[in-house]
Amino acid sequence: MTPVDRDRLATGGFQATLRHAVTVDVEQLRVQVYRTFAETGQPPSVEELAEVLGAETTEVRGGLRQLAQSRHLSLGADDAIVMAHPSSAVPLGFSVMSSDTLWWGGCAWDSFALPHLLGDQMRGAAQVLVATTCPACNRPHAWNVDRSGPPEGEQVAHFLIPAAHMWDNVVHTCGHQRLFCSASCLEAWLARTGNVRGYVLDLGALWRLAAHWYDDRLEYGYTRREPADATDYMRAVGLSGSFWGL
Ligand SMILES: [Zn+2]
Ligand SMILES: [Zn+2]
């Protein structure tokens, strides 16, 4: 029984309100998921969320599904949170390490976004170490990423799935937003896998894309951006072409 239910029992109102017992506040649930994931590197479980919000697990599950439907997060089996961008519960080729927290970095875009989103709230996250391997040749790469400017490097980011289809299967999409040693490693990978070239960004373009994409995501009242509709943002950070719907 939740504390609210106990109050209702005490006041004799339980029977009348049982049918409409505690409905989880979906925005509160969203913020709780995002903040826990950001602060710990791990998504909260349904049971943990129910405990913190004083709700039933069925209500939490319903709220999570609503959030997944509106693309605030991605759910796996048994309503487990797989992604709440830029945090990921599954490895997609990147690790991101601050002085005291370790995240699976989601994709290249998400990994570069973490210090921008968390730098103000978590002192240790203002600079992170982003690490990955080249999908073509397996060479390791790592950069210190912070908010002062793009890291140095000749590597190139490649996004396979166009903006209009990024949410068709977002885990697949993020899994194919990777960093390669060079244009020639990317060409070798495209030839080997039979994939069609998507969009190529240098580290500066990737950093600018990531810098403000997730602004305010940990706050109440956040309005999410849909990649295909965010044309002003994409133009402002220097992107162009049909891949972005521009
Ligand atoms: Zn390579
Ligand atoms: Zn991603």
Question: pLDDT tens for residues 117-163?
Answer: 999 888 899 999 999 999 999 999 999 999 999 999 999 999 999 99
Mean pLDDT calculated for residue range 179-195: 98
Fold of 88-244: Beta-Lactamase (3.30.450)
219: exposed, middle or buried (C-beta count within 10 Å: 0-12, 13-18, 19+)?
exposed
CATH 3.30.450.410 spans which residues of the chain?
88-244
Residue 54 C-alpha to ligand 2 middle, in angstroms?
A: 31
pTM of structure: 0.90
- Alpha carbons 11 and 216: distance in angstroms, whole number: 40
CATH 1.10.10.10 spans which residues of the chain?
3-84
Q: Which CATH class is domain 3-84?
A: mainly alpha
Hey, what are 226's tokens? 């849909």
Q: What percent of the chain has pLDDT over 70?
A: 91
Amino acid (1-letter code) at residue 199? Y
Residue 1 C-alpha to ligand 2 middle, in angstroms?
A: 38
Amino acid 19: pLDDT: 46
Whether residue 73 has pLDDT greater than 50? yes
Amino acid 243: pLDDT: 97
Residue 16 C-alpha to ligand 1 middle, in angstroms?
A: 65
Residue 18 C-alpha to ligand 1 middle, in angstroms?
A: 60
Whether residue 12 has pLDDT greater than 80? no
Closest-approaching ligand to the CA atom of 187: 1
Q: What is the mean pLDDT of the chain?
A: 92
Whether residue 187 has pLDDT greater than 50? yes
Residue 112 C-alpha to ligand 2 middle, in angstroms?
A: 10
Residue 179 C-alpha to ligand 1 middle, in angstroms?
A: 9
Which position has the higher pLDDT, 165 or 14?
165
Amino acid 123: pLDDT: 84
Q: What percent of the chain has pLDDT over 90?
A: 89
Residue 171 C-alpha to ligand 2 middle, in angstroms?
A: 8
Amino acid 21: pLDDT: 53
Residue 123 C-alpha to ligand 2 middle, in angstroms?
A: 23
Amino acid 23: pLDDT: 83
Residue 108 C-alpha to ligand 2 middle, in angstroms?
A: 7
Which position has the higher pLDDT, 2 or 139?
139
Residue 46 C-alpha to ligand 2 middle, in angstroms?
A: 23
Closest-approaching ligand to the CA atom of 192: 1
Q: What are phi and psi of 199, to 5 degrees?
A: -130, 135
